[in-house]
């Protein structure tokens, strides 16, 4: 256990003193504060359409030019995960440190566990700190304190972000175990992210339209079918699952509509407002997404763990 802590402390210190950490932190703070500014300017209009949960609009309200904080964070979390994981093992191998490190009286898994935990801690600190900063700025600006439900929702939002980041970190570590070159592991991770983040949605839309074409006079049933197919394919991507999960958690009204095709159609047809969901109901609505995100994070890390433990160590 002490060896994991030693590796963890060293990795954490490396992360905090690295330029990549400072650059990422600066980027996220700039993006977070910009989106907060936009949210504050638009929050009155957004909050007037529904009752309650005003505080959460700080995170979900965007503008014409800048998107909301949750859009930014959906974009940044995979980057943070990849950046803190892509060279975890192969850089140690290439620098000749791995064989020296493993010749110390430590179990081999201390290395990968310590690195993963340090990465997750760094990710948690980045996300928690920006959420606290936005909450503080928002509290000062709008003067409305968050309710206990809102605090719980923010807590779950951070929790989901950490596991989503854990998935990307686990995937990047997996490539760092499999691939010898750090350039190859980062490029592969980024390629997968771009595919899942950008292209899968386009492909899902094309497939849905090919299977159930929507003419001008398409029936509600066809629209629901088309939407369901597109959503089903998009849900292959953890990015889609994450967006759905945080939307439902942070938008108690609109979020419920987003993940439910029938509700979406009813809402679009009637223009009537739905009642906001309680935190418990929101969680029930997104538990499959949550479970899959957590499972993916565990699967990716477990795969990298097993492969690393079975790998032959070379002397150089």
Partner 1 sequence: MNDNNNLIISKNLSKKYKEHLVVDNLNLTIKKGEIFGLLGPNGAGKSTFILMTLGLTEPTSGSISVAGFNSTREPLKVKRITGYLPEKVGFYDDMTAKGNLAYTAELNNIPFREIPKKIDATLEMVALSKNKNQIVKTFSKGMKQRLGIADVLIKEPELIIFDEPTEGLDVKVANQMLQTILDLNNEKNITFLLSSHQLNLMQRVCPRVGILSRGKLITEGTVESLGRNMFGGGKYRIEIELEKVPGEIIEKFKKLDKVVNVIRTDNQIQIVCDKDIRQDISRLITSEGILMTRMDMKQDALEEIYLKYFKEE
Helix 69-83 to helix 148-178 angle (10° resolution) is: 30
Give the range of 1-9, 64-72, 117-125, 219-227 binding partner 1 by CB under 8 A.
Answer: 1-9
Shortest CB 315 distance to partner 1, Å: 4
* Residue 272 backbone dihedrals phi, psi, to 5 degrees: -85, 150
Q: How far apart are CA 50 and CA 310, in angstroms?
A: 55
Tracing tokens 């963890």 back to the chain, one arrives at 8
Shortest CB 15 distance to partner 1, Å: 12
Give the range of 170-178, 251-259, 293-301, 307-315 binding partner 1 by CB under 8 A.
Answer: 307-315
The residue count of the chain comes to: 316
| x-marked contacts with partner 1 along 7-36 as a string, rule CB under 8 A | x--x---x--x-------------------
Segment 39-98, which members bind partner 1 (CB under 8 A)? 92, 95-98
Longest dimension (CA), the chain: 72
Shortest CB 88 distance to partner 1, Å: 14
Query: Is the Cβ of residue 92 or residue 254 nearer to partner 1 in the bound state?
Result: 92
Segment 94-113, which members bind partner 1 (CB under 8 A)? 95-107
Query: Is the Cβ of residue 85 or residue 252 nearer to partner 1 in the bound state?
Result: 85
Is residue 6 involved in binding partner 1 (CB under 8 A)?
yes
Shortest CB 98 distance to partner 1, Å: 8
Query: Is the Cβ of residue 117 or residue 274 nearer to partner 1 in the bound state?
Result: 117
Query: Is the Cβ of residue 17 or residue 49 nearer to partner 1 in the bound state?
Result: 17
SS3 string, 24-88, reads: HHHHHHHHHHHHHHHHHHHHHHHHHCCCCCCCCHHHHCCCCCCCCHHHHHHHHHHHHHHHCCCCC
C-alpha 209, offset from chain centre: 28
Shortest CB 65 distance to partner 1, Å: 39
Shortest CB 148 distance to partner 1, Å: 43
Tracing tokens 């493993």 back to the chain, one arrives at 102
> Which residue among 143, 148, 272, 314 contacts partner 1 (CB under 8 A)?
314
Q: How close are the terminal C-alpha atoms of the chain, in Å?
A: 27
**153 CB-near residues (< 8 Å, 6+ apart):** 53, 56, 249, 250, 252, 279, 282
Query: Is the Cβ of residue 114 or residue 165 nearer to partner 1 in the bound state?
Result: 114
Shortest CB 7 distance to partner 1, Å: 8
Specify whether the CB–CB gap between 108 and 139 falls below 8 A.
no
Query: Is the Cβ of residue 14 or residue 45 nearer to partner 1 in the bound state?
Result: 14
Specify whether the CB–CB gap between 40 and 68 falls below 8 A.
no
Q: How far apart are CA 140 and CA 67, in angstroms?
A: 22
Give the range of 6-14, 142-150, 165-173, 259-267 binding partner 1 by CB under 8 A.
Answer: 6-14
Give the range of 232-240, 247-255, 284-292, 306-314 binding partner 1 by CB under 8 A.
Answer: 306-314
Tracing tokens 């003067």 back to the chain, one arrives at 143
What is the contact surface with partner 1 in residues (CB under 8 A)? 2-3, 6-7, 10, 14, 17, 92, 95-107, 312-316
């Amino acid at each position: 256990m002490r060896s994991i802590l030693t590796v963890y402390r060293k990795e954490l210190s490396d992360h905090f003193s690295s330029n990549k950490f400072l650059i990422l932190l600066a980027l996220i703070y700039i993006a977070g504060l910009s989106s907060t500014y936009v949210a504050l300017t638009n929050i009155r209009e957004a909050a007037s359409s529904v009752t309650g949960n005003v505080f959460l609009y700080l995170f979900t309200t965007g503008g014409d030019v800048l998107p909301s904080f949750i859009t930014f964070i959906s974009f940044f979390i995979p980057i943070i995960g990849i950046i803190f994981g892509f060279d975890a093992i192969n850089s140690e191998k290439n620098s000749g440190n791995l064989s020296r490190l493993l010749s110390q009286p430590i179990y081999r898994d201390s290395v990968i566990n310590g690195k993963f935990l340090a990465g997750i801690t760094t990710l948690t600190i980045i996300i928690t700190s920006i959420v606290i900063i936005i909450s503080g700025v928002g509290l000062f600006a709008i003067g409305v304190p968050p309710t206990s439900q809102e605090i719980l929702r923010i807590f779950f939002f951070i929790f989901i972000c950490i596991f989503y980041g854990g998935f990307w970190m686990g995937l990047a570590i997996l490539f760092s175990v499999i691939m010898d070159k750090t350039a190859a592991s980062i490029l592969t991770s980024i390629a997968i992210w771009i595919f899942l983040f950008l292209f899968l949605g386009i492909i899902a839309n094309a497939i849905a339209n090919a299977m159930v074409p929507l003419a001008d006079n398409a029936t509600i049933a066809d629209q629901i079918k088309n939407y369901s197919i597109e959503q089903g394919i998009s849900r292959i991507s953890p990015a889609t699952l994450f967006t759905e999960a945080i939307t439902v958690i942070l938008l108690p009204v609109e979020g419920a509509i987003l993940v439910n095709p029938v509700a979406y159609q009813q809402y679009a047809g009637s223009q009537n407002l739905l009642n906001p969901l309680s935190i418990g109901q929101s969680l029930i609505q997104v538990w499959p997404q949550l479970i899959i995100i957590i499972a993916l994070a565990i699967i990716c890390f477990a795969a990298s763990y097993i492969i690393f433990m079975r790998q032959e160590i070379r002397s150089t």
